Structure 1
Amino acid sequence: MGYFVLHEDVYVATTKNLIDGVIAGYNATVFAYGPTGAGKTYTMLGLDSEPGIYIRTLNDLFRAIEDSTEDLDCSVYMSYIEIYNEMIRDLLNPSSGYLELREDAKGEIRIAGITEFSTCNAKEIMALLTKGNKQRTQESTAANKTSSRSHAILQA
């Protein structure tokens, strides 16, 4: 008999405590790792009836921005890419072809030509994620008929 963990439990144990730091200006990363078929994509995306890490984090992030007593000047931008066979594709603008990593004038590594969308709520981001997920590379494997064969990165 398998062990089933609710998305809420995973979110509270791994990610919820990062929100305050993000509001304070720190970067945060949530990384799902495991073998094919382990539930990485499911844990991050979830379902309408059981939202995953993405939607829970974004809802709490926008709520924290709204509830902040400080005079914050916040803008939230998102991008969504896939890395497959060492190639980078923009999932929100797949017609842009493969993108390259470049160093900017400040010495920071950037993805040249990436599309960034300005968003004001988690629902907009989820709509963009749904659009982007339709562009992901999928192949059948022995363990999973519709395995997402790429690494997807949501940056908000």
Structure 2
Amino acid sequence: MVNQVEPKLIKPLYEELQKERFVTLATVDYETGGPNVSAISWVLAKDENIIYFAVDNRSRIIENINKNNHVVINIIANESTYSIQGEANLKEERLKDVPLKLALIEVKIKEVRDVMFYGSKIVQEVQYDKTYDKNAAERLDRQVMDAIRKA
């Protein structure tokens, strides 16, 4: 079976990106020109063609995107692994109604590729747990995701 390539998010990925979840983000490092991979969780599909994510506005991710806006978001969902390639830009320097100084990044999707190796499927997706105050984490997550939705 040949890996599928789409110009936009397929429905199961769009649905998975309607809530906070673990993804990795690959950027081009502004100093070395090499790859830079980060784990992020405040991510939301605005529609089938655009993904928003929030990061600390002092993050190296922002410097990398300012120098080279090509990014890849990797997501494990729908029993597979997907590479979402796109062009990123700083949409907002500071998200409103959020106590942290978070920037909002917009990714315009160019290609969604199923990159799972042949003859296999994901049987258990990545899970994570917040290691700080659970109530504070839930409140902050709600504030950030609500702010992203309003953007």
Say whether the fold is shared (TM-score over 0.5): no
TM-score range, shorter chain: under 0.3
If each structure's strand is expressed as a fraction of its own residues, which one has the higher value? 2
Q: Work out which of the two has the higher radius of gyration on C-alpha atoms and give 1 or 2.
A: 1
If each structure's helix is expressed as a fraction of its own residues, which one has the higher value? 1
